Amino acid sequence: MFCGTKPTNYERCEYLRSNSSSANDTKGRSVYPDIIVHRRRTADNLMVIEIKKSSSDILDDCDRLKLGSYKSDLGYKYAAFIKLKTDDSIEEPYRISWE
């Protein structure tokens, strides 16, 4: 999928691709983000994004650790955590935090 109407310096967004880069969690398991923005076949990694429903049973800290690993281990410059309202646990329709 292209980001916008035409490719730019960061050519593509990758969505859960099997050949995308992974980081490791605290138990050494590979973890994959929801969206990455990078220049393919280089180490030029711009942004990693995690998206979660507010009704999820998984702790937000798990996603934040994953984002931190992508920044420290793989050199992503920016990381965003987006929480979408699917129940009454948050007031706003979405919440974005930059990690």
Residue 65, domain member (yes or no): yes
Residue 97: pLDDT over 50 = yes
Tell if the pTM clears 0.85, that is, is over it.
no
Residue 2, domain member (yes or no): no
pLDDT-derived band at 93, boundaries 50, 70, 90: very high
Q: How many CB atoms lie within 10 A of CB 69?
A: 20
Residue 3, domain member (yes or no): no
Residue 6, domain member (yes or no): no
Residue 49, domain member (yes or no): yes
Residue 19, domain member (yes or no): yes
Residue 16, domain member (yes or no): yes
Task: Please give the tally of structural domains in the chain.
Answer: 1
Strand bridging mode 45-53 / 35-38: antiparallel
For residue 77, the model assigns a pLDDT of 95
Residue 54, domain member (yes or no): yes
Average pLDDT over residues 13-37: 62
Domain coverage including residue 93: 12-98
